[in-house]
Every structure is written in structure tokens, then in C-alpha cells.
Amino acid sequence: MVSGTLMLTDLAITPISETLRNLSIDRRSGDLQVQSGRTVKTVFFDHGRIVFAASNLKKDRLGESLVALGRITDEEFNRASALLREEGRKRRFGDALVHAGVLDKNEVGRSVARQVDRIVRSLFELTEGVTAFEDRRSAIPLEYMVSLSVHRMLYDGIRLMTSPELVAAGLGDLDRRVSMVAITPFAFDMKGCPPEEREILEQARRKVTLRRLAWEPGGLSFARLRACYALLASGVLEDAERAADPAEQPVVQMETGTFLLSALRLQPDPSSRDAIRQELDDELERSAHLDREMWLKVSRNAPREELIKALEDKMERYHTLLDAAGDDEALKTDLEVILGRASAMLRLARQAPAPPAPAASAAPSEPVPANEARTADGAFAGAAQLEHLLLEGEVRMTVSDYANAVRVYEKLVDLAPRVAAHRVRLAIAMASYPRTAKQAEREFLDALRLEPNNADIHYQFGLYYKVMKQRARALAEMQAAVRLNPRHRLARAELEVLSPKDSALLNLKKLFK
């Protein structure tokens, strides 16, 4: 759909659950405004994820809801409100609570997530009104996006619906067969379900029609129809006649109950001196024998110009490190050692005799095809530049030159911002370099926004969180990877390590016995 186009639905005819579900399936970004009488609520989508919600009701505002829940006092509310007035409302209320020392950033994140969850769930109780969705880039900055599961919201929300007509409209054909999925797309505990849902799920271990699941002595039961709809829309039940396609399902979202970005960015950075020390130790070891393949990743048969370019790049990096070393004499001494090695090798490379010129009788070179002799803006030049950056980035990663690998991949992402694989490469390079490790999270998230159903990206993201000691998030990403690709061997192995008693994993083991 073209940006800015409006999509209208009537809440008396189309269940809000179907609107939310379809927006997620279509990976839409924009604002869904829901109006019923004088009440107006807005749900913000980003690539199919629900990332924020707002309401014109006073009780739905963050400050008022925190007071009502007893999380903050009236005096603390007034203090944060006064701070907002002083700054001309340039700050969000959550930021004002942090700035005033009332709550920390993590507590604000959890409170905002609960507020969004409450606003979205309240929409399922509406039986009249209108929705209007406007396609556009998400208005919510990444720092304020929350991380909640659309599947879980559908499950919780549909169970609040009171209209038999809307439930029937959402369910559709009652004579199609369904079955229970091996791995649910959100944290679902069958033991915590009401008795009628447990009975439905037990029956659905084999292929069975929705009509049979919703039947009780005397006819179809509204409570059982609603339960079937909640389980089906949320991905706990699936169509038994055809394999589920992740592209036709809502986005599998890591649910943390707080902001999408973790608290990593709030943790103190390792000192730049420590980062330099680690990089320097690696370079000292690699340059010890002046081995061009080991140190510079340049083939012994490569042209002299390629060797000179690699050495010049190395020396540029070493001079940057020398400037950053400050008054640390130990660092300076080691840097001067490897600078001397690079300088000596560069001098020898420049003094080496040039390769013989081609004989005058040699055949003239082939003319460059017109369609390839383009400027840097042309398709050929653009593709060649991308290929060159990919190769250079791979070389720098191989020799553990992570700082320059980050710079290379940043250029790559600037040239092709909508290619998820490029962002993953940048994220891995950032994660490998202490000074940019925390920034890698943003790149992983952007990659997943572009390709939410890519199990490998979820797996790589899980490894990142594991290394960064964010166990709950690492577990969530590995679960997402396995849900998207139950045969993902590496993700399954990590999932078993992170959560040996995880019910999803036990279901998976039964499936592949």
C-alpha cells in the first residue's frame, strides 16, 4: 500500500483481532486509530510489530496509571509533571520520572509495556466504532518502542470478546480441521489454561474440526468458540490441511515486557584503554613474523599495489591508536614496535621492482562495454562498490581488524540500507569490538525489522545476547529461531543449553523422535 493511504474498517463487522493480525502479517508500519464514541486509541506498528499505544482517556496515561497502581505517589507524580512544565514538554513523562529520580529506566520500560498491553487489550471489548490505519514510517523512536508479542496479545485479547457475531466472523469456516502446533509462537503454558481450553487442546493433538472442538451437549458453545478463536489466531492451533508459512503469520516477537532496546546501552562502557590494549595485543601477535597472509590477509601472489594498500591501511589504524593511547607509555611502546614492522615492510614493498610492462606488440585491451563504463551512481559501479566493501569487510574480520570492519560495513549499510544481511554483518563486527559492542543490538534489531522471519538472524542475535550476558533475551531469540525453523540445529542446541527444561524444547524433541 502506498505511504499515507488510509484503510478503514467497521468494528461492528470486522473484529479488531483480524485488523491487528493482518497488519502484523503484512509487516505494516504506521498508526492504527480506533474510535468508539468519544474514545480514541492509537496503536503504533513498526514492520508488523506493535511497538506503542496511546489513548485520550486520562486513566490510560502513564502517570495516572502508575499512581492508580500505587507505583508512584501523588507527590512523585507532581514532581515529574513540574519538570515537564519547566522544560516546555520537550521530555516524555517516563524520562521525567527517571530525571526526577522516581523510577529507573528499566522500571519505566516495564511500566510503559504494561500500559501498551492494557490499551491494546481494551480494544477487544469494543463492539462498535471505526478503525483507520495510515501507512507511514513508525513515529516512535527505537528507544521508546516496547517489546510485546502480537501472538500473546491476540490470545489474551480475544478471550475478552463478548460478541458471538464477531467471534464467528473471526473464526470463519468451522468445518476445517486444525491441530495443535509443536512449538507455540509465544510463551504458552497449557497447565495455566482454563479447563475448557485444556480439553480443546487435548482433542487438538489429532486433526479435528473447529466445530467439533466448540461443541458441547446441546450445541455450539460461545465460550468454546471464543477459546478456539483465541488459540487459532494466536498460533497455538494451526490449519491441519497445509503447512504453516511464517510469512502468513504475525511477526514472531521477542517478548521482554519492557523496551525493545535492552539495558545494555545504560551499562558503563569498557575503558577505551582496555579496548586499545586488546586490539594491540592481537596486532602484535599477528605482525610478529611479517607474514602478509597471516597479518594483512594478502595473498603471496597478489599485486604489489594490493600489498601497499593493506599496509597503508594498517599504518593509518596504528596512528589512530597512537593518538588515542594518550600518556600510556606501555601502549605507545608496543604501538611503535608494530608501526616499525609495518613501515619496514612498506618500504620494502615500494622498493621492489615493478612488473614488466606488456610488449608493444601485445593485443590492445578489450574496450570497456558502454553499459559497464558508468559513473559511481550507475548500476554497475554501485554493484561493484558493494562487492568491494563486502570483500574488504570479510578480510578485515578475518584478521580481527574489527574497528575498520565496522567502518566498512557502515558504508555498506549506507549504500544498501534495506538489506538485512548487511546489517547483520555490521552487528557482528560491532559486537566483536569492545567500543561498539553495545551498539550492535540496534543493528540486529534493524535487521530483524527487515526480515522478521529469518531464523538465522534470530540465532545470531541470541548468540550476541548470550555473550553480553542477557540470558532471558538470548533464550527468547533462540526460541524465536526454533519456532521459525524447528530443524535449526544450532539454535536447538543453544536452546537446550540455555533452558534444559523449556517446554517448547520438550515438544520439539517429541516431534523429531
pLDDT above 70 as % of the chain? 88
Tell me which of 197, 232, 248 is where a domain ends: 248
> Among candidates 435, 419, 481, which has minimal Cα distance to 456?
481
pLDDT above 90 as % of the chain? 51
Q: Is 226 helix (H, G, I), strand (E, B) or coil?
A: helix
CB atoms within 10 A of CB 128: 11
Instruction: Tell whether 84 is covered by a domain.
Output: no
Q: Work out the pLDDT band at 402, boundaries 50, 70, 90.
A: confident
What is the pLDDT at residue 234?
96
Comparing 184 with 368, which gets the higher pLDDT? 184
What is the pLDDT at residue 503?
52
Q: How many domains does the chain have?
A: 2
User: What are the strands, taking DSSP E only, across 173-293?
Assistant: 177-180, 208-209, 215-216, 219-220, 237-239
Mean pLDDT calculated for residue range 227-247: 91
Would you say 186 and 50 are in contact if contact means Cβ atoms under 8 Å apart? no
Comparing 211 with 402, which gets the higher pLDDT? 211
What is the pLDDT at residue 378?
46
Instruction: Tell whether 219 is covered by a domain.
Output: yes
Would you say 44 and 140 are in contact if contact means Cβ atoms under 8 Å apart? yes
What is the Cα–Cα distance from 387 to 275, expressed in whole angstroms?
30
Would you say 298 and 306 are in contact if contact means Cβ atoms under 8 Å apart? yes
pLDDT tens per residue, range 199-208:
999 999 999 9
What is the pLDDT at residue 266?
65
Provide CB contacts within 8 A for 403, sequence distance 6+. Answer: 279, 317, 433, 435
Instruction: Tell whether 92 is covered by a domain.
Output: no
The CATH number assigned to the domain holding 328 equals 1.25.40.10
15-19, 252-256, 429-433, 509-513: range with highest mean pLDDT: 15-19
Instruction: Based on the fold, state whether residues 239 and 276 are members of the same structural domain.
Output: no
| Residue 487 domain boundaries | 272-350+375-511
Would you say 381 and 411 are in contact if contact means Cβ atoms under 8 Å apart? no
Residue 6 identity = L
Instruction: Tell whether 407 is covered by a domain.
Output: yes
Mean pLDDT calculated for residue range 99-128: 90
Instruction: Based on the fold, state whether residues 292 and 196 are members of the same structural domain.
Output: no
Q: Is 230 helix (H, G, I), strand (E, B) or coil?
A: helix
Instruction: Tell whether 32 is covered by a domain.
Output: no
Tell me which of 232, 248, 264 is where a domain ends: 248
Would you say 251 and 150 are in contact if contact means Cβ atoms under 8 Å apart? yes
> Among candidates 249, 243, 129, which has minimal Cα distance to 179?
243
Comparing 440 with 286, which gets the higher pLDDT? 440
Instruction: Based on the fold, state whether residues 283 and 424 are members of the same structural domain.
Output: yes
Instruction: Based on the fold, state whether residues 346 and 401 are members of the same structural domain.
Output: yes
Instruction: Tell whether 89 is covered by a domain.
Output: no
Instruction: Tell whether 292 is covered by a domain.
Output: yes
Instruction: Write a three-state SS string for 40-91.
Output: EEEEEEECCEEEEEEECCHHHCHHHHHHHCCCCCHHHHHHHHHHHHHCCCCC
Instruction: Based on the fold, state whether residues 284 and 196 are members of the same structural domain.
Output: no
Instruction: Based on the fold, state whether residues 162 and 294 are members of the same structural domain.
Output: no
Statement: residue 273 has pLDDT above 80: no
Instruction: Tell whether 495 is covered by a domain.
Output: yes
- The residue behind cell 467497521 is 10
What is the pLDDT at residue 176?
95
Instruction: Based on the fold, state whether residues 320 and 243 are members of the same structural domain.
Output: no
Statement: residue 314 has pLDDT above 50: yes
Alpha carbon 452 to its chain centroid, in Å, reads: 7
Mean pLDDT calculated for residue range 185-194: 92
Q: 166-180, 226-240, 295-309, 446-460 — which is least confidently predicted? A: 295-309
Instruction: Based on the fold, state whether residues 241 and 313 are members of the same structural domain.
Output: no
Instruction: Based on the fold, state whether residues 181 and 278 are members of the same structural domain.
Output: no
Instruction: Based on the fold, state whether residues 165 and 300 are members of the same structural domain.
Output: no
Provide CB contacts within 8 A for 274, sequence distance 6+. Answer: 434
Instruction: Based on the fold, state whether residues 225 and 162 are members of the same structural domain.
Output: yes
Instruction: Based on the fold, state whether residues 458 and 496 are members of the same structural domain.
Output: yes
Tell me which of 215, 248, 281 is where a domain ends: 248
Comparing 182 with 90, which gets the higher pLDDT? 182
CB atoms within 10 A of CB 89: 10
